[in-house]
């Protein structure tokens, strides 16, 4: 069953994201999830198998394009098309918002994720992502990605 993330599920979702290797020490995953839930232009979906949290995906639109973050599936739930179902949910939500295109970022060395998204019909885009930290106290030496 796929549903919208609740406050009570945030800690377990943060653990799921960390277990999937998607969290980074310079990102506050719980704050990211809460921000997505609080804004009308984003949301977080979770999937359950029985009583267990089995997957999650965060999605939103920036007024121009849709974005997907934190797609994670528990090791125990892999191979059951749960990642595909979560992406379909994110795509449907974005389509309902009138979003014409959905984007996501995958770390260059994450070949398994790149192959997964290719099987879903996603393609590599010929763009370079640039970034600048806007928070005070950010460590310029930290490889923020």
- Name the pLDDT band for 141 (thresholds 50, 70, 90): very low
How many domains does the chain fold into?
A: 1
- Name the pLDDT band for 131 (thresholds 50, 70, 90): confident
Residue 134 lies in a domain: no
pLDDT at position 14 is 97
**Is the confidence at residue 16, as pLDDT, over 80?**
yes
Please give the structure tokens belonging to residue 82: 């749960």
- Name the pLDDT band for 68 (thresholds 50, 70, 90): very high
CATH number of the domain bearing residue 114: 3.40.630.30
Domain span at 54: 2-119
Supply the DSSP string of 5-64, one letter for each residue: --GGGHHHHHHHHHHTT---TTS-HHHHHHHHHHSTTEEEEEEEETTEEEEEEEEEE-SS
């Amino acid at each position: 069953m796929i549903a919208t993330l609740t406050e009570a599920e945030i800690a377990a979702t943060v653990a799921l994201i960390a277990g999937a290797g998607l969290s980074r020490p310079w990102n506050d995953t719980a704050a990211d999830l809460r921000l997505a839930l609080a804004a009308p232009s984003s949301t977080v979906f979770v999937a359950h198998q029985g009583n267990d949290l089995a997957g999650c995906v965060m999605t939103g639109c920036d007024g121009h394009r849709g974005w997907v973050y934190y797609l994670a599936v528990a090791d125990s739930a892999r191979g059951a098309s749960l990642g595909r179902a979560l992406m379909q949910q994110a795509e449907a939500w974005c389509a309902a918002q009138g979003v014409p295109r959905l984007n996501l970022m995958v770390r260059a060395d994450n070949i398994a994720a790149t192959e997964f998204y290719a099987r879903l019909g996603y393609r590599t885009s010929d763009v370079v992502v640039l970034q600048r930290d806007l928070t005070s106290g950010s460590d310029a030496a930290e490889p923020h990605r």
